[in-house]
Structure 1
Amino acid sequence: MRGIVGFYITYLLCLILGIACVVLVVHWNFMYRDGFAWDGSSKNFNWHPVLMVTGMLVLYGNAVVVYRIPLTWGHNKLPWKLLHAGLLLLSFIFSVIGLCAVFNFHNVHHTANLYSLHSWVGICTAALFTAQWVMGFTSFLLPCTPMAVRAFVKPTHVWMGAMILVLSIVSCISGINEKLFFVLKETTNGTKPYSALPPEAVAANSLGVIIVAFGLVVLKILSNQMWQRPEPGDDEGVYRPLAYDGS
């Protein structure tokens, strides 16, 4: 049973870190960046980090580990496919709104779009995520898709899922750092510089550390062969979790 217990401890940590990410990013933008609006101001921009962290990281990370939950093993896979696809669709919607927020802010202030390394990595991540969702929907949810196609696509689908999570982490932490360099400048707005590590920098840096921790926990769940959902035809079948009592 240690394999199952180990999973649920790790999964609980995943949930706690995901909630902490959302709470911290909202706290940062509400307490230190004046809150939220949709008026082209800096408050408009504040939706961007909140929605991207919530969508592209937390919702996405939880979506990719749905199949690893042992309670789902031995049951009809379709409801879990729908939950997986639904969480990813919600993640996609949050991400699109988050991108609209930053583009709207830039356009109102006549700031160039997509000029930084953060924006390049971020837009590539969003594009790959879109392609991944479409590929997953057409390959695994459409009943007319042949099983041979599903078997062929699955390894790429799984690999891309992990790579998109890694790119999301990179996008988030680079975006946090970029934002802090922009706003924490003593000479321009009276705040303490980033190098002085004011409370806002501590909060945002802490968010970045928790984002990395969340991503590492999700990748741990994905990489552990013990926690893979048994497929039809596996020798161990639905009893696979009990086969790891001594591990």
Structure 2
Amino acid sequence: MSNYPYEYARCLDMDQIEESSQARSLEGFTPLLSLLEACGALLMILVAVWTICYRNGFSWKSNPQLEFNWHPLLMTIGLVFLYANAMLIYRTQRNVRKRRLKLIHAGMMLFIVLLTVIALVAAFDSHNLATPSPIPNMYTLHSWVGLTTVILFCCQWVAGCVSFLFPGLQSPLRASYMPIHVYFGVAAFIGAITSCLLGLNEKAIFTLKEKYQTFVGEGILMNCIGLLFVSFGGLTVYLITQERYRRLPRPEDDVLLSR
């Protein structure tokens, strides 16, 4: 006599247990993600308010001093907000096929590279074209940490494209490189947050000078932006490093992009 009805019911029970277990492991993910996105949106708004209302807006090479204002805004949008969302996309889009997520992830990273290049050009132009004399480049800790972060980020993007988008690479090699990719991805993000904090403090000291210690409005706003950088960075690292929030493997995950 066939045991098919019993086995079918047992499989259904196992699926229900697995779904229940997954639901329990994801507890708190949605509220934390919502808080993260709210912090990120507020961060970008405050940086825009600071650069427009206190730093007189934007320009290009015709006004190098205003050209610099593109630097903090684009770095915040690209190397902080979009970078965090690109890293979290595998956890926020759980039901999307992994090969599509790979392409979206790589595309977001490429767009971040573009924003970063524009931001760096704005920073160097604001120094090189300054009047009456140019301002030296690459002498501050902010510039050293920032450039190191950008180089690490670009190396991560290239290595990720070769490792996860190249159809001929064997699965064991991808699996062995994955922890390295994740580690250095998080390291680059922490470097970006650190660089933003150093740059913000540097800008406050250089531009406000002795007024900074009198609690002027711009100084308070810059300090609030700094706290948001820390909050956004901490939430991002927490969501990325929590194993219980990982995307569960799917049968099609190992299918090559060429298929």
TM-score band, normalised by shorter chain: 0.7 to 0.9
Aligned residue identity for 1:124 = T
Q: CA deviation at 1:147?
A: 1.4
- Secondary structure class of the residue paired with 1:66: helix
Q: Which residue of 2 aligns with 1:118?
A: 142
Listed one character per residue, the Cα deviations across residues 116-165 of structure 1 (whole Å, up to 9, x for unaligned) are: 00000000000000000000011101212221221121110000011111
CA distance in 1, matches of 2:216, 2:64: 23
- Secondary structure class of the residue paired with 1:185: helix
Q: Which residue of 2 aligns with 1:245?
A: none
1:68-217 correspondence to structure 2 within 5 Å: 68-69=91-92, 71-73=93-95, 75-109=96-130, 110-185=134-209, 193-217=211-235
Determine if the alignment matches structure 1 residue 14 to structure 2 residue 36.
yes
CA distance in 2, matches of 1:61, 1:96: 18
- Secondary structure class of the residue paired with 1:202: helix
Q: Is the 8 A contact 2:190 2:233 kept in 1?
A: yes
Structure 2 unaligned segments of length 5 or more: list them: 1-22, 252-259
Normalised to the residue count of structure 2, the TM-score between the two structures is: 0.84
Q: Which residue of 2 aligns with 1:44?
A: 67
- Secondary structure class of the residue paired with 1:153: helix
Aligned residue identity for 1:219 = V
**Structure possessing the higher relative contact order (Cα contacts under 8 Å, 6 or more residues apart):** 1
- Secondary structure class of the residue paired with 2:248: coil
Identity of aligned residues (%): 38
Q: Is the 8 A contact 2:64 2:125 kept in 1?
A: no
Structure 1 unaligned segments of length 5 or more: list them: 187-192, 234-247
Aligned residues: 226
Normalised to the residue count of structure 1, the TM-score between the two structures is: 0.87
CA distance in 1, matches of 2:100, 2:44: 26
